[in-house]
Amino acid sequence: MNITDIIRTRYTSKAYDASRGLTDEQREQLLELLRLSPSSVNSQPWHFFAVESAEAKARILPAFGEANAAKVQNAAMVVVFTTHTEMSEEHLNTLLSQEQQDGRFNSDDAKAGQDAGRRYFVNLNSHSVEQQRNWMARQAYLSLGFLLFGAAAIGLDATPIEGFTPQLMDEILNLPALGLQSVVVAAIGHRSEQDFNARLPKSRLERGKVITLL
């Protein structure tokens, strides 16, 4: 499928076929897609919970209202996107070590430059706890976009979900103790016959309203 086909045919699935799970290859691709998502200054301020078992889905279910509950129960995988509650010194050092291990630096100067550049951008977005958390949430939403496109590219249906109670999700997954907080959710799987949205035409504002060519 080319990009135009993917973006025209992908849509938000409203009902899933509970009998269809993911293949090992699909699961592997989705998890790599999350791990390799881009983020500002490679900050990767996230942790993704990939929920597949019926037991784990039942555990997180109370965090969802009626409108999204069936999607969570019947989708093949539910991803809970969480971000760190703070951009810690430990995380900044972990990022730098990983970049070194992955061969990103050919000199100590290059390593120091990357560290300084990242800290500069983090600081620009850290005038308050709330500002820093918003910045981290924006990175998580990028990974959501990545996942939505990628899922469609490998023939899977998906639902981005903001319709849940973050405080409840945080409690259920014990996130505060892990230094994490939930941001957004995505369900992924195979549409069912009951998915009315599959038959509706896509609706978007006209190009001239949202894009200016200069």
Ligand X SMILES: Cc1cc2nc3c(=O)[nH]c(=O)nc-3n(C[C@H](O)[C@H](O)[C@H](O)COP(=O)(O)O)c2cc1C
Annotation marks residue 71 as catalytic: yes
- Work out whether 8 is an interface residue with ligand X (CB under 6 A): no
Q: To the nearest whole angstrom, how small is the minimum distance from the Cβ of residue 197 to ligand X?
A: 6
**CB burial of residue 82 (10 Å; 0-12, 13-18, 19+):** buried
Binding residue for ligand X (CB under 6 A) from 69, 100, 142, 160?
160
DSSP alpha helix (H) spans, 154-172: 166-172
Backbone angles phi, psi at 202, to 5 degrees: -70, 145
Q: Is 143 in the site for ligand X (CB under 6 A)?
A: no
Strand pairing report for 77-84 and 157-161: unpaired
- With respect to ligand X, which residue has the nearer C-beta, 21 or 160? 160
Q: Which is nearer to ligand X, 56 or 137 (CB)?
A: 137
Applying CB under 6 A, the site for ligand X has a residue count of: 11
Which among 28, 32, 90, 162 is annotated as catalytic? 162
C-alpha distance from residue 104 to each of 49, 52, 99, 112, 116 (Å) = 28, 34, 5, 12, 15
Chain residues 13-72 in contact with ligand X, contact rule CB under 6 A: 14, 68
Please name every residue paired with 49 in a beta bridge, in sequence order, or none if there are none: 80
Q: Pick from 87, 161, 173, 188: which binds ligand X (CB under 6 A)?
A: 161
The yes or no reply on residue 73 touching ligand X (CB under 6 A) is no
Q: Let me know if 89 is a catalytic residue.
A: no
Cα-based torsion angle of the residue sequence 94, 96, 100, 101 in order, rounded to the nearest 10 degrees: 20
- Residue 172: CB minimum distance to ligand X, A: 17
Q: Does 5 bind ligand X (CB under 6 A)?
A: no
Structure tokens at 45: 């301020």
| 166 binds ligand X, rule: CB under 6 A | no
Give the Cα separation of 34 and 150 in Å (integer): 10
Query: 24: which residues sit within 8 A by CB, 6+ positions away?
Result: none
Among 8, 59, 104, 202, binds ligand X (CB under 6 A): 202
Using CA atoms, how far apart are residues 133 and 175, in angstroms rounded to an integer?
A: 15
Q: Give yes or no for residue 83 binding ligand X (CB under 6 A).
A: no
Q: Among 71, 99, 111, 193, which one carries the catalytic annotation?
A: 71
Among 83, 159, 181, 192, binds ligand X (CB under 6 A): 159
Q: Which residues are catalytic?
A: 14, 71, 162
User: Which positions touch ligand X (CB under 6 A)?
Assistant: 11-12, 14, 68, 159-163, 184, 202
